[in-house]
Amino acid sequence: MTTEPEIRKGLAGVVVDYTAISKVNPETNSLLYRGYPVQELAASCSFEEVAYLLWNGELPNAEQLAAFAADERSQRSLDDAVKRVIDELPLTAHPMDVVRTAVSVIGALDPTWADASPEGNLTKSVSLFAKLPAIVAYDQRRRRGLDLVEPDAELGYSANFLAMTFGEVPSKVVVDAFDVSMILYAEHSFNASTFTARVVTSTLADLYSAVVAAIGALKGPLHGGANEAVMHIFDEIGSADRAEEWLDAALAEKRKIMGFGHRVYKNGDSRVPTMKAALDTLIVEYDAPELGELYTALDDAMQNRKAIKPNLDYPSGPAYRLIGFDTEMFTPLFVASRVTGWTAHIMEQLASNALIRPLSLYNGVPERHLE
């Protein structure tokens, strides 16, 4: 008698490989990047330092950081060919499609695309890290009928990102909150988009192909697209006093409440308290208490009805709204951050590669033959 193999839908609970990049521990509700708690990194480091850590395994010393920052700052501008392609894309294209296309064009223009050595892939990773803010900022501005703002090599990553988007550097509170969001979004083990990048890499396709595929996976509302979807929900609800009534109707319709729930964390996402604290600073900065009230009202109602905790997308959506980004730009912001984690995983996959090719159990029509 043959026993049927166990099928784990969605690979839930399946451990597929080792990683030394990050550890998600739902029991202790913690997240470590290269051994460091992400909360400590968010409190004491810049996003540039965290990117360096993810790629190199150690935090940079002052000299290494200066060299890394100079390298990043020198690569922030977009090639004219990339700008032209972005200009050609209609405004009906979702900003994630614009980012995906722009990264694809950058890959096609890179004559060293096939160099998959660790040095070659690190060079490509830093280049994408440096250019993604320009892509996102340019797309945000063109949607508002505004011209591109050139990068400023005097500014750090987040201050420059915001200056390229809004034409000026906002207050330190805003830059710091944005930087914290970039750090928190950077890496999260074998999530769907990172696993996608690893699957593509496992075929020995190039880094750009893996990143483009990962962007596609991140777009969906069950993954990165949830930060955008949270804001649509907030707009539907309108104000805190309507949250319970809205939630009951949504649950009665069997809707998934975006920004809540997680495949790995069942007792709350380790990053939420840090991002909620950053959101709170923005609520004060922009004098927007009603947004905080709505946040709390929906969260409280969700705990009463379903006891499902918020994930990182729940506080980051309203934070990006307050900073001034259009809602559909939120997931591209996630891309700008997660490109660090994706590329670290691409290099880790290549360092000990095995083609990723699981099995399936056939349940179609039995064997049959042409007459």
Ligand X SMILES: O=C([O-])CC(=O)C(=O)O
Ligand Y SMILES: CC(=O)SCCNC(=O)CCNC(=O)[C@H](O)C(C)(C)COP(=O)(O)OP(=O)(O)OC[C@H]1O[C@@H](n2cnc3c(N)ncnc32)[C@H](O)[C@@H]1OP(=O)(O)O
Asked if residue 73 binds ligand X (CB under 6 A), the reply is no
Please report, as a single letter, which amino acid is at residue 86: I
Pairwise CA distance, residues 20 & 18, whole Å: 7
Angle at CA 188, nearest 5°, toward 185 and 190?
140
* Region 252-271 residues binding ligand Y, contact defined as CB under 6 A: 256-263
Q: How far is the CB of 256 from ligand Y (least distance, A)?
A: 4
Pairwise CA distance, residues 275 & 278, whole Å: 5
Site string for ligand X, 261-280 (x = CB under 6 A): -xxx----------------
Asked if residue 94 binds ligand X (CB under 6 A), the reply is no
Considering only the C-alpha atoms of the chain, give the largest distance between any 2 of them, rounded to a whole number of Å. Answer: 76
* Region 25-84 residues binding ligand Y, contact defined as CB under 6 A: none
Quick check: is 152 catalytic? no
Query: Measured in Å, how far apart are the chain's first and last C-alpha atoms?
Result: 32
SS3 assignment, position 24: strand
Asked if residue 188 binds ligand X (CB under 6 A), the reply is yes
Q: How far is the CB of 189 from ligand X (least distance, A)?
A: 6
Pairwise CA distance, residues 218 & 268, whole Å: 21
Locate tokens 């096609």: which residue?
Answer: 108
Helix locations, 324-365, DSSP H: 330-351
Catalytic, out of 110, 299, 313, 345: 313
Q: Which is nearer to ligand X, 264 or 288 (CB)?
A: 264
Instruction: Pick the piece of the chain touching ligand Y (CB under 6 A) from 24-32, 160-168, 217-225, 283-291.
Output: 217-225
Asked if residue 215 binds ligand Y (CB under 6 A), the reply is no
Contact between 198 and 346 (Cβ < 8 Å) = yes
* Region 223-262 residues binding ligand X, contact defined as CB under 6 A: 262
Q: Which is nearer to ligand Y, 29 or 64 (CB)?
A: 29
Locate tokens 């990683």: which residue?
Answer: 19
Site for ligand Y, rule CB under 6 A: 10, 222-224, 226, 256-263, 306, 308, 311-313
**Residues designated as active site:** 223, 262, 313
Site for ligand X, rule CB under 6 A: 188, 191, 262-264, 311-312
